[in-house]
């Protein structure tokens, strides 16, 4: 995962998550926020259903899919080098850890 100059995140999934994510085409994003610090610690991606606001899963040629994750609802990610993330993958969702600090 990387931080864009806008403070948004760009998620590049593992091989296992890529297979599932490529099938979804669009995803709903939900942040998992730490109750004490109010900082985002993970983001939950689920396939969209009709009528819900969603984000496009990008796929170029034979490359792995990726998703840009706007963060304005939870603050701005501090600039950092790309980092590895932990993923929890099930048929109905992918939960991705957020390894960056956030500022309001």
**Number of domains making up the chain:** 1
Q: What is the pLDDT of residues 50-61, one digit of tens each?
A: 788 999 999 877
Give the confidence band of 72 by pLDDT, cuts at 50, 70, 90. Answer: confident
- The answer to whether the CB of 3 falls within 8 A of the CB of 33 is no
* C-alpha to C-alpha distances, 79 to 5, 8, 63, nearest whole angstrom: 7, 10, 25
pLDDT tens, residue by residue, 20-51: 998 998 999 999 999 998 899 999 999 998 78
pLDDT higher than threshold 70 for residue 91: yes
Q: Which domain holds residue 46?
A: 2-103
Q: Whole-prediction pTM value?
A: 0.90
């Amino acid at each position: 995962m990387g931080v864009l100059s806008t403070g948004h995140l760009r998620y590049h999934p593992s091989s296992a998550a890529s297979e599932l994510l490529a099938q979804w085409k669009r995803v709903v994003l939900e942040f998992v926020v730490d109750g004490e610090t109010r900082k985002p610690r993970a983001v939950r991606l689920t396939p969209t259903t009709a009528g819900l606001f969603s984000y496009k899963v990008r796929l170029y040629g034979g490359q792995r899919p990726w998703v840009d994750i706007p963060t304005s609802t939870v603050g701005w990610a501090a600039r950092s080098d790309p980092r590895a993330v932990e993923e929890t993958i099930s048929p109905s969702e992918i939960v991705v850890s957020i390894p960056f600090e956030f500022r309001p």
